[in-house]
Structure 1
Amino acid sequence: MLDNFPRGTICIEDIEFGMTRSLRKVITDRDIELFAEVSTDRNPVHLDESYAQDTIFQGRIAHGMLTAGLISAVIGEQLPGHGTVYLGQTLKFLAPVRPGDLVLAEVTVTDIIHAKRRVALECKCTVGDTVVLKGDAMVLAPSRKFD
């Protein structure tokens, strides 16, 4: 399952308070394996079912930063989109994401500082009705004006 919205760029001049964009993705075993390879985070709670059964999660979970990466995808591909520069991000992990879970990643504009091209975003990921991650981001948005 892919994005709900087209990819591209929304320039600072067109961003509005409350604007929201999202994507949906099923987290697969392959996603977890690839993330472990790229990040070098091979914690067995992500990769070894028998090990993970004996943890508080009682089974394998996805890396938290894999889920957070979906927020990055919405910001970098949709809102504001191509040309956006991350300035900061806070994250709070509230529940595990498991292989096979359908994650909805959403960002919503909460503040716009036009003079500095900055946009504040509320970020969250849900699996069904459960919020699994929430936080805030500050980004530098692209502009049609060349400074």
Structure 2
Amino acid sequence: MKYAEIKPGYIYTEERVITDEMVRSFAEITGDDNPIHLDDDFAARSIFKARISHGVLTLGLVSAVLGRKFPGPGTIYLKQDAAFRRPVYINEKIKIKIEVLEKIEEKSRLLLSTSVIKENGEEALTGQALVLFKEDEEE
């Protein structure tokens, strides 16, 4: 999508499933091997009763949407505020929702609402992102 075509109120959504492999890879890459994410027995005794995804892994999927799908390649993250509201469990389907709140024309920036919604409709993550978006000049 071209910057000129983006309007406040536009909503982009995408569904993903948080897999065991994603969680284990994220733990290995970051070193965050908290047993709430990796150990079934430990997690079963927790307030969550089962293993959960890293919150930042879930937020990383928002980043992937911003950089690849909407607004797309060339997007530069300038700021992200996020609140982790509910856990996302292993093998749970989520919906990533990005909504354009404001377009700042003179700086090619977008203020976006960012959220992750669980398959039961509860919000797992809410926040706002400020991004710089200038599409490739060759498009």
Question: Taking structure 2 as the reference length, what is the TM-score of the superposition?
Answer: 0.93
Figure out how many residues of one structure are paired with residues of the other and give that number. Answer: 137
Q: Are 2:22 and 1:39 equivalent residues in the alignment?
A: no
Separation in 1, partners of 2:2, 2:35: 42
- 1:68-107 alignment runs, 5 A limit: 68-107=59-98
Separation in 1, partners of 2:2, 2:77: 15
The answer on whether the counterparts of 1:12 and 1:114 sit within 8 Å (CA) in structure 2 is: no
Separation in 2, partners of 1:51, 1:95: 19
RMSD, aligned CA:
1.5
| Equivalent of 1:113 in 93, 98, 104 | 104
Deviation at 1:117, TM superposition (A): 0.7
Separation in 1, partners of 2:105, 2:136: 12
2:134 aligned partner:
142
Q: 1:106 to 1:51 in 2, by over 3 A?
A: same
The ranges of structure 1 where at least 4 consecutive aligned residues each deviate by more than 6 angstroms after the TM superposition are: none
User: What SS is found at the alignment partner of 2:24?
Assistant: helix
CA offset digits 1:23-69 (Å, max 9, x no partner): 11111111110111111110010000111112111111000011111
2:40 aligned partner:
49
Q: Are 2:4 and 1:17 equivalent residues in the alignment?
A: no
The one-letter code matched in structure 2 to 1:101 is: E
Deviation at 1:11, TM superposition (A): 3.0
The one-letter code matched in structure 1 to 2:63 is: S
The one-letter code matched in structure 2 to 1:87 is: L
The answer on whether the counterparts of 2:74 and 2:136 sit within 8 Å (CA) in structure 1 is: no
Question: Taking structure 1 as the reference length, what is the TM-score of the superposition?
Answer: 0.88
